[in-house]
Amino acid sequence: MDFGVHLPQLGRSANRANLIEWATEADRLGLHSAWVSDHVAWPRDIESSYPYTDDGSFPGGFDMPWLDPLGTLTFVAAVTERIRLGTTVLILGYRPPVLTAKWYSTIDVLSDGRAILGVGVGWMREEFEVLGMPFDNRGARADEQLEIFDRLFTEETPSYDGTYYSFPEVGFSPKPPGGRIPIWVGGSSEAAFRRTARHGDAFHAAFEPIERVGDEWAAIGRACEDIGRDRSELTLSVRAYLDPGAAMEPEKSIQGSPEQMAETVGRWREIGVDHLALDVVAGGGASGRLDALRSFMADVAPGFASS
């Protein structure tokens, strides 16, 4: 099993020093990947329901510092050598697709092919409106964006003529060093499962109980069967809290002693999880959370080393 970590990209810890320390230490510790999330600007009053809390409230706060995910990954690419760099998740509708493709291809080139493009369709109508981007039909727009990425990354003179996006033949360079960038699809709808089967290299669930992720993984298997794809080609990834002090919801967390954490990680592995993206929750600020990550990598992760 592979382990990733969410970087201190938001909140009071989001600064140059902490990002460098976390990214370089994660690289040294042998983590598979480093992750950032995507919000730009949102109004004080939000009526849209956040899908990852029981009451639908957005925990971000009106004035929470939140570094741009693509700028942050570009920065982190320059201070690391091995660790993969991903978004959990990039909201496709926040940006024009050709611009997003250029950003990500740049990150992939500057990191020597270490980028992972984690994608989602978003949930906050108010933020779409602040950005001047359409909220309606965002799923269909996301599907077209993924088609556009594939053409821009792989074709010599790509063009596109869809329902929502179109452009003539263009020169698009540089291309990703490996020919394409892995697509990790987030979401919890049937449309997201079909999108994973059609476009994804991985399904990336976030803050959901083990049983629900297992049901979603089965639904993705059915979606793969519908189009003649082998689900074994996909990685199953989950974002969960690393929470030694048991402060968060236990069904969304890896908590307690090293032995208790290992038991929980084992349950995730039993349903097919190949990758856990750890969102570290611990006292002591950024340094305390980094210590919790070090302890996990020393005391728990070795028991789940990928073969």
Structural domains in the chain, sorted by start: 2-304 (3.20.20.30)
Q: Enumerate residue ranges in the chain where pLDDT < 50.
A: none
User: What pLDDT is stored for residue 98 in this prediction?
Assistant: 98
Please give the pLDDT value at position 61: 85
pLDDT at residue 60, rounded to an integer: 85
pLDDT at residue number 291: 98
Looking up tokens 């409106």, which residue turns up?
129
Strands 2-6 and 166-167: unpaired
Q: Is the dihedral of CA 196, 209, 242, 272 positive or negative?
A: negative
**Token pair in block for residue 214:** 């297992």
